């Protein structure tokens, strides 16, 4: 009797622990911010582990129960300590920022003006690490016809060095030699960007580059983040995790990965989705695209849809091409209304590969793609079109992400 | 005694979780996320070893889990400290 009760309890604890661990892992896939991930991880390292170890009581073997309890006691102490250590490191990285100013008063207005009327002036954040790739970003921005009243901020990130554990108030640290070193290229870049009507300043911040850039874009109320690219290949991006790709994931606004220092021909890739519509919208609104020819491309994949004619008849391809033609036309309308020069095109095949090869063939300088953003496991396994384009295109890539809230708004508006 | 079916299911499930944790590690954007993923992965390995020891009915695997918990704990502490001080590998 007692044994059967024990076995039921043990099985229950074991399975409940695994359910909790699954929920925690799912949460870690869903959330990208480190503190949100810590919250989800706590479920795995705490209750899930404890429940699984508690089930050792029901195993009816003395050695297993003893060892299980030993591990249980150990995990109780260590899991909270290691979570605390990670949280502390994240907190230090996030707050450990020191800024230098380029003597302009632009600091007093970030984000404040966004409530006004539809402004044409833009706020641009350029990430600069002193590398040649970053210089391409500066040159590209310098070539853009930014409207008067625009704000450009250059940002350099120092990865979390020089903060001793006992540092009480990191913001009051005096500028260190590393920061002074970084300011020199920043000031040179600021001089290259100088032009009438545009406010330029620069800051140096401490912490993980992608997070620092995302936070700064938020405070500046940036319309656009510009990052240089070292052009790591697909495999290396997966393993190393390039800063540019990380910025694309974390940035609150569109990200321009600069590879060519000019913009004379633009390719907009569209698939009729919400993110594509948002990207189209940006092209229509931003005045920097006024005098540039825009190729609008839609790629028909070879996946048949319900109601299509049977394959092999040649009809299928015609039907799909017609479908993509509609998508392209829908994207072209707002651009034409905004007075842009539009050239529509349809191609067939793998989306990312076709976008890249077509852009290369037409010697396009900039490819614009919409991205659904974090799609969790799906992206890890399959890789989105935007990622594919970013990994293999030689041209600069502008990735416009539709935020979840925005997508909802779009859907309800239709 | 926990029924055999439950234990086998639990072990398979824990293995799936291990794979998911590995994907999480691959996906991590910077060293902090990687550290957190490794910490969680360590706990999942403890869970896998514990269920394995239930399945086999021997205690050796839990002892291995104890050693692993000890190592992963100290590794996490050291890595977190290195991230703060900036002498570790860059993100």
Residue A378 has pLDDT above 50, yes or no: no
B3 touches chain A (CB under 8 A): yes
Closest CB to B90 among A52, A90, A159? A159
Question: Which structural domain range is residue B56 located in?
Answer: 4-85
Residue B18 covered by a domain = yes
pLDDT at B46: 94
Q: What pLDDT, on the 0 to 100 scale, is given for residue A306?
A: 58
Q: Choose between B11 and A147: higher pLDDT.
A: B11
Read off the pLDDT band of A238 (50, 70, 90). Answer: very low
Closest alpha carbon within chain A to B91: A208
ipTM associated with this complex:
0.90
Asked if the model's pLDDT at residue A81 lies above 70, the reply is yes
pLDDT of A240 higher than 80: no
Task: Reply yes or no on whether the pLDDT at B88 is more than 50.
Answer: no
B residues 7-26 near A, CB within 8 Å? 7, 9-10, 13-14, 17, 20-21, 23-24, 26
Strand order in A123-127's β-sheet?
A: A199-206, A151-158, A123-127, A224-228, A255-258, A396-401, A366-371, A266-269, A293-300, A341-348
Q: Is residue B64 part of a domain?
A: yes
Give the pLDDT score at B64.
92
State the SS3 of chain A: CHHHHHHHHHHHHHHHHHHHHHHHHHHHHHCCCHHHHHHHHHHHHHHHHHHHHHHHHHHCCHHHHHHHHHHHHHHHHHHHHHHHHHHHHHHHHHHCCCCCCCCCCHHHCCCHHHHCCCCCCCEEEEECCCCHHHHHHHHHHHHCCCCCCCEEEEEEEECCCCCCCCCCCHHHCCCCHHHHHHHHHHHHHHHHHCCCCCEEEEEEEECCHHHHHHHHHHHHCCCEEEEECCCCCHHHHHHHCCHHHHHHHHCCCCEEEECCCCCCCEEEECCCCHHHHHHHHHHHHCHHHCCCEEEEEEEECCCCCCCCCCCCCCHHHHHHHHHHHHHHHHHHHHHHHCCCEEEEEEEECCHHHHHHHHHHHCCCCEEEEEECCCCCHHHHHHCCHHHHHHHHCCCEEEEEECCHHHHHHHHHHC
Task: Specify if B91 maps to a domain.
Answer: no
Task: Give a yes or no: residue B36 inside a domain.
Answer: yes
Q: What pairing do the DSSP bridges indicate for beta strands A341-348 and A199-206?
A: unpaired
For A88-124, the pLDDT digits (tens) are 888 877 643 333 333 333 333 333 333 333 447 888 9
Inter-chain touch B84–A53, beta carbons under 8 Å = no
- Looking at residue B32, which CATH number applies to its domain? 1.10.287
With contacts defined as CB-CB under 8 Å, which chain A residues touch B62? 56, 64, 67-68, 70-71
Q: Does B45 touch chain A (CB under 8 A)?
A: no
Kindly list the residues from chain B whose CB atom is less than 8 angstroms away from the CB atom of residue A17. Answer: 47
User: Looking at per-residue confidence, does A413 or A178 come out higher?
Assistant: A178
For chain A, the average pLDDT equals 76
**By three-state DSSP, how is residue B1 classified?**
coil
Cβ separation of B2 and A10 shorter than 8 Å? yes
- Nearest-by-Cβ selection for A71 from B30, B44, B69: B69
Chain A positions touching B87 (Cβ under 8 A) are 161
Contact residues on chain A for B30, CB-CB shorter than 8 A: 208, 210-211, 241, 246
pLDDT for position A104: 35
Verify whether the Cβ–Cβ distance B50 to A3 is below 8 Å. no
| pLDDT value, residue B50 | 92
Least confident of A229-238, A282-291, A378-387, B4-13: A229-238
The pLDDT of residue A131: 74
pLDDT of residue B86: 63
The predicted model gives B27-52 an average pLDDT of 91
Q: Distance (Å) from the C-alpha of residue B8 to the closest C-alpha of chain A?
A: 11
Question: For B2, which of A28, A59, A70 is closest by C-beta distance?
Answer: A59
- The answer to whether the pTM exceeds 0.95 is no
Residues of chain A numbered 204-223 and touching chain B (CB < 8 Å) = 208-211
Is residue B79 included in any domain, yes or no? yes
- For residue B35, pLDDT over 70 is answered with yes
Give the model's pLDDT for residue A309.
Answer: 58
Task: For an interface test with A, give the residue of B19, B26, B49, B83 to mutate (most A CBs within 10 A).
Answer: B83
Query: What is the model's pLDDT at position A171?
Result: 46
Q: Which of A22, A67, A93 sits opposite B62 (nearest CB)?
A: A67
Question: Using the beta-carbon criterion (under 8 Å), do A208 and B32 form an inter-chain contact?
Answer: yes
Total tally of structural domains belonging to chain B: 1
pLDDT for the residue numbered A407:
43
Question: Confidence class of residue A35 from pLDDT cuts 50, 70 and 90?
Answer: confident
| 46-85 in chain B: CB under 8 A from chain A | 46-47, 50-51, 53-54, 57-59, 62-63, 65-66, 69-70, 72-73, 76-77, 80-81, 83-85
Mutate to test the interface with A, among B50, B77, B90 (most CBs of A within 10 A): B50
The pLDDT tens digits for A52-66 are 999 888 877 888 888
| Residue A239 pLDDT class (50, 70, 90 cuts) | very low
- Interface residue A90 vs chain B (CB under 8 A): yes
Residue B90 is assigned to a structural domain of this protein: no
Cβ–Cβ below 8 Å for B81 and A85: yes
What is the reported pLDDT for A303?
58
| Res A17 pLDDT > 90 | yes
Judged by CB atoms within 8 Å, which residues 348-377 of A form the interface with B? Answer: 377
Q: Output the CA–CA distances (angstroms, integers) from residue B41 to A76, A244, B9, B38, B84, in the order listed.
A: 17, 27, 20, 5, 22
* Chain B CB contacts of A90 below 8 Å: 32
pLDDT at residue A82 in the model = 93
Checking if the pLDDT of A194 tops 70, the result is: yes
């Amino acid at each position: 009797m007692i044994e059967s009760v024990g076995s039921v309890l043990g099985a229950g604890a074991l399975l409940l622990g695994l359910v909790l661990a699954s929920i925690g892992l799912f949460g870690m896939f869903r959330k990208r911010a480190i503190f949100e991930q810590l919250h989800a991880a706590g479920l795995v390292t705490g209750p899930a582990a404890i429940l699984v170890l508690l089930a050792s009581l029901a195993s009816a073997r003395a050695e297993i129960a003893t060892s299980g309890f030993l591990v249980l006691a150990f995990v109780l102490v260590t899991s909270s300590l290691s979570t605390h250590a990670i949280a502390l490191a994240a907190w230090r990285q996030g707050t450990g920022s020191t800024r230098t100013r380029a003597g302009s008063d632009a600091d007093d207005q970030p984000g404040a003006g966004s409530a006004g009327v539809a402004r044409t002036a833009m706020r641009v954040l350029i990430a600069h690490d002193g590398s040649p790739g970053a210089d391409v970003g500066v040159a590209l921005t310098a070539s853009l016809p930014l409207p008067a009243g625009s704000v450009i901020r250059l940002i350099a990130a120092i990865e979390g060095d020089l903060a001793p554990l006992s540092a009480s108030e990191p913001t009051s640290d005096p500028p260190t030699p590393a920061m002074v070193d970084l300011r020199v290229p920043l000031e040179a870049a600021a001089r290259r960007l100088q032009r009438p009507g545009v406010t330029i300043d620069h800051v140096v911040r401490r912490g993980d580059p992608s997070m620092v850039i995302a936070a700064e874009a938020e405070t500046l109320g940036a319309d656009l983040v510009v990052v240089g690219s070292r052009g790591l290949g697909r495999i290396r991006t997966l393993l190393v995790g390039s800063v540019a790709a990380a910025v694309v994931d974390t940035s609150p606004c569109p990200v321009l990965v600069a590879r060519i220092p000019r913009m004379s021909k633009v390719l907009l890739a569209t698939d009729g989705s919400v993110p594509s519509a948002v990207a189209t919208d940006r092209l229509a609104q931003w005045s920097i695209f006024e005098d540039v020819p825009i190729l609008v491309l839609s790629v028909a994949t070879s996946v048949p849809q319900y109601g299509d004619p049977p394959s092999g008849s040649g009809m299928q391809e015609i039907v799909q091409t017609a479908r993509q033609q509609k998508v392209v036309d829908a994207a072209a309308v707002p651009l034409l209304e905004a007075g842009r020069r539009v050239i529509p095109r349809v191609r067939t095949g793998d989306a990312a590969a076709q976008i890249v090869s077509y852009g290369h063939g037409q010697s396009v300088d900039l490819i614009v793609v919409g991205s659904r953003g974090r799609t969790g496991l799906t992206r890890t396994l399959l890789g989105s079109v935007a990622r594919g384009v970013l990994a293999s295109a030689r041209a600069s890539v502008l990735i416009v992400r539709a935020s979840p809230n925005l997508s909802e708004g779009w859907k309800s508006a239709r | 005694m926990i029924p055999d079916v439950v234990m086998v299911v639990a072990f398979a499930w824990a293995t799936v979780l291990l794979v998911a944790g590995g994907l999480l590690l691959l996906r991590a954007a910077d060293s902090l996320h990687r550290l957190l993923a490794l910490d969680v992965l360590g706990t999942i390995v403890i869970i896998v070893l514990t269920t394995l020891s239930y399945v086999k009915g021997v205690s050796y695997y839990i002892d291995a889990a104890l050693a692993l918990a000890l190592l992963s704990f100290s590794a996490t502490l050291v890595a977190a400290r290195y991230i703060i001080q900036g002498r570790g590998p860059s993100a």
